[in-house]
Amino acid sequence: MLWTDTARNDLESLVDYIAADDPAAAMQVLDTLERRARALESQARRGRIVPELRAVGVLHYRELLERPWRIVYRIEAGRVLVLAVLDTRRDLQSLLLERLIRS
**pLDDT tens across the length of the chain (103 residues):** 999 999 999 999 999 999 999 999 999 999 999 999 999 999 999 999 999 889 889 899 999 999 999 999 999 988 999 999 998 888 877 777 677 666 5
- Domain of residue 30 covers 2-102
Nearest to 90 by CA among 70, 65, 63, 73: 70
- The continuous run of DSSP H or E covering 55 comes out as none
**Residue 101 has what pLDDT?**
63
Is there a contact between 72 and 85 (Cβ–Cβ < 8 Å)?
A: yes
> Which neighbouring-strand residues pair with 75?
80
* Total number of domains constituting the chain: 1
| Strands 2-3 and 79-87, sheet pairing | parallel
**Residue 95 has what pLDDT?**
77
CATH, residue 57: 3.30.2310.20
Ramachandran assignment for 60, one of left (phi > 0), alpha (psi -120 to 50 degrees), beta (any other): alpha
Give the number of other Cβ atoms within 10 Å of residue 6's Cβ: 15
Is there a contact between 49 and 70 (Cβ–Cβ < 8 Å)?
A: no
